[in-house]
Amino acid sequence: MELFTKRKPGSRVVDLVQQRELQESAARSISRKLKVTPNFLKRLGLETELEGHEGCVNCLEWNESGSMLASASDDMRVILWDPFSYKVKYNIQTGHSGNIFTVKFLPNSNDSILVTGAGDYKIRVHDISISDILLVCNCHYGRVKRFGTAPGVPFLFWSASEDGLIMQYDIRVPHSCKSNVQKNVLINLSNHTGRFTEAKCINVNPRRPELIAVGASDAYIRMYDRRMIKLSNSPDSTISNSNVLNLGKGDYDNNVPLACAQYFIAGHLRYKDNCKKYCTTYLTFSDDGNELLVNMGAEQIYLFDINNHGNSRNFIVPVELITNDGDGNEPIVENSNTPVVLEDLSSINFTDFSPEVEELQKRAKQAFKEERYANAVTLYNDAIDLCPNAAILYGNRAGTYMKRAWDGDIYAALRDCRVTLALDPEHVKAHFRMARCLFDLNRVKEANIVMKNFAEKFPEFTNNSACKSLRKDIKEAMNTNKESQASKQSIEVKISDYEREWRKNAIDFKLRLCGHCNTITDIKEANFFGDDGQFIIAGSDDGSFFIWDRYTTNIARVLKGDQRIVNCLQPHPSMCLLATSGIDPVIRLWSPMPEDGSVNVWEVENSNDAAIANHIRMNTDHYEVMFFNMGYRFPGQGSGNGQDDNEDRQDSSNTQPLNCRPS
């Protein structure tokens, strides 16, 4: 058994070039890998600033060949740039009377047909070859936030608006706004979720253009097969319209059938109270069409596997899936959606660790002792990437997540506990931590069952102070929950039966990426960087943009991209060139800099410190953010207050203390 293997053997540029020479069939895939290499990423720096707008630049869009970049702004203009000469090719007065939020080239239009949507609720189709407006659409009665187009599908585009409508347009067909005859509504979210649901973003699968993903003003991400949907009339915006009576009750004539939709959600958000306002600010499919990347407002960035239909309902170990094997052994969680694919469930012993993994674990344990939990998580990510079948690494990372206690960390710890138990069913702390996590996630019934199974399997720990304390907490919480259940049900929002079924079968995430802050704007993007999607990029409220290694989920680089907020990041379609924009009225182009030893002044050196500061921003009142940016700190904004004070020792001894109370 090979105990240590590099993730990407032969990944050096020289190795890839040599492979391309020897194997002609691999030329295309190797060219994709050469687009954004680790060396290029390390040298990424500011190439130039494109000046021309007089307001925030809210959206960027490359044409298919990458020879032109479109930008749109609060100044209600669209500028088309030559990204290589840095010159303006077209400066378009769009005719909008509100901030422009979205701009798209229509496919196969020779880059001459451009579509814009804005805060004036209008959509305009521009033919830049003749400087004319082909269409002005007033169908929406909310701000138009995003367009979707499909490669190779000319004349069609889709819009997402804050009125909750997803509309489809075919510019070959005569259009009449607010017509009883015109049918261009693909999806009306309000029919299923009530009056106040807003559509925030939309994206079309590049490999399967029948699949359209929609992000809204809640924690759910929706994907529809448009082949199964019947277009309907645009509803009247007036409150007296009879359509209002149907809000939350479903479509009139089953326009959106049950089988056409698949929902996704980060598991812990499914049961979250509405004390925070979540919304999807951006989503995009991977180049192969198999994954969906989502930037969740007031939360983190998530990657979903759209083909993962087998693991749909396991978020926080539902009580009906926690059973006993009949002999009093550990809880059996059926169909668990683990964050990694385990080729076999045989855990390796710590003595089989390579020196590199050994060193990473040693440094992680030291960081944990020094309460540098973000650093410890990063080190465990690296170790797990190199040695993915070590139960002790997942167990220790779970304990570290619980101490760091960022948004979603307790749920991440629960997932790690499940992997730990799959690899090592005798792992005592993983059993106990699972119960602790379930309790902290307010899944009290599940926590109670896990603790009962724990007591039967490990009776020697039943009198442990941490166990007794958790059992007491669970008992009190169960009594409290019984009293509050009736009042909770009385304030539930009305949703349709279909919506309830779609949410019930929603799919959990595959990867989670932390470090940025996304609370102030609702247009903040996240994108794949590199044609293999090996890196992921996103802007942040601290004026930086973050680059993650998707295999370890660690931050690879942080660069300062704006004086206040970076919103937009659009990679060039065929080379290592990145366009970014935000509050500043400029577009910045980033590319690999020469290796001349000069200092990159845009580099944020300590990425973990930046991530910690953003965690504080994410959980700070907006008024306090101003003071935070001036250097002030507020009570309770120190390190995480997780529950597990002790990591596992290297020998994973079952005699370890179970001190899992807050310190």
**Alpha helix stretches (DSSP H) within 491-520:** 497-504
pLDDT at res. 323: 41
* CA pair distance 585, 57, nearest whole angstrom: 6
pLDDT band at 637 (very low <50, low <70, confident <90, very high): very low
Report whether pLDDT(320) > 70.
no
pLDDT at res. 537: 98
The full 3-state SS of 48-64, as one line of letters, equals EEEECCCCCEEEEEECC
* CA pair distance 71, 50, nearest whole angstrom: 10
The full 3-state SS of 373-427, as one line of letters, equals HHHHHHHHHHHHHHCCCCHHHHHHHHHHHHHHCCCCHHHHHHHHHHHHHHHCCCC
* CA pair distance 637, 532, nearest whole angstrom: 38
* CA pair distance 434, 439, nearest whole angstrom: 9
Report whether pLDDT(359) > 90.
yes
Task: State the average pLDDT for the chain.
Answer: 85
Q: What is the pTM of this model?
A: 0.88
Report whether pLDDT(658) > 70.
no
pLDDT at res. 31: 60
pLDDT at res. 531: 84
* CA pair distance 517, 523, nearest whole angstrom: 13
Report whether pLDDT(334) > 60.
no
pLDDT at res. 480: 85
Q: Is 618 strand, coil or helix? A: helix
6-20 burial code (b ≥16 CB/10 A, e <16): eeeeeeeeeebeeeb
Burial grade of 249 (CB within 10 A; 0-12, 13-18, 19 or more): middle
pLDDT band at 500 (very low <50, low <70, confident <90, very high): very high
Lowest mean pLDDT among 5-9, 36-40, 198-202, 550-554: 5-9
Q: What sign does the CA torsion over 320, 321, 325, 330 have?
A: negative
Report whether pLDDT(508) > 90.
yes
pLDDT at res. 644: 46
Count the residues in the chain. 663
pLDDT at res. 292: 98
Cβ count near 392 (within 10 Å): 27
611 vs 27, higher pLDDT: 611
Instruction: Read off the DSSP letter of residue 531.
Output: T
Instruction: Extract long-range pairs of 172-176: CB within 8 Å, 24+ residues apart.
Output: 175/135, 175/137
| 138 contact partners, CB below 8 Å, separation of at least 6 | 121, 122, 177, 178
Which helix (H) or strand (E) covers residue 591, if one does?
strand 586-592
pLDDT digits (tens, 9 = 90+) for 609-633: 999 999 999 988 655 544 444 444 4
Report whether pLDDT(10) > 90.
no
Beta bridge partners of 526: 538
Q: What sign does the CA torsion over 298, 300, 305, 310 have?
A: negative
pLDDT digits (tens, 9 = 90+) for 370-389: 999 999 999 999 999 999 99
Lowest mean pLDDT among 95-109, 192-206, 245-259, 416-430: 245-259
pLDDT at res. 15: 61
Residue 182's Cα: distance from chain center in Å?
36
pLDDT band at 245 (very low <50, low <70, confident <90, very high): low
Report whether pLDDT(189) > 60.
yes
3-state DSSP: the chain helix, strand, coil percent, rounded to 5? 30, 25, 45
Report whether pLDDT(651) > 50.
no
Cβ count near 271 (within 10 Å): 12
pLDDT band at 598 (very low <50, low <70, confident <90, very high): confident
Cβ count near 528 (within 10 Å): 21
Q: Is 151 strand, coil or helix? A: coil
Q: Is 120 strand, coil or helix? A: coil
pLDDT band at 554 (very low <50, low <70, confident <90, very high): very high
Report whether pLDDT(289) > 60.
yes
pLDDT band at 550 (very low <50, low <70, confident <90, very high): very high
Mean pLDDT of 281-308: 97
Q: What are phi and psi of 408, to 5 degrees?
A: 85, -5
Residues above pLDDT 70, as percent of the chain: 77
pLDDT at res. 356: 97
pLDDT at res. 352: 80
pLDDT at res. 181: 65
* CA pair distance 509, 549, nearest whole angstrom: 17
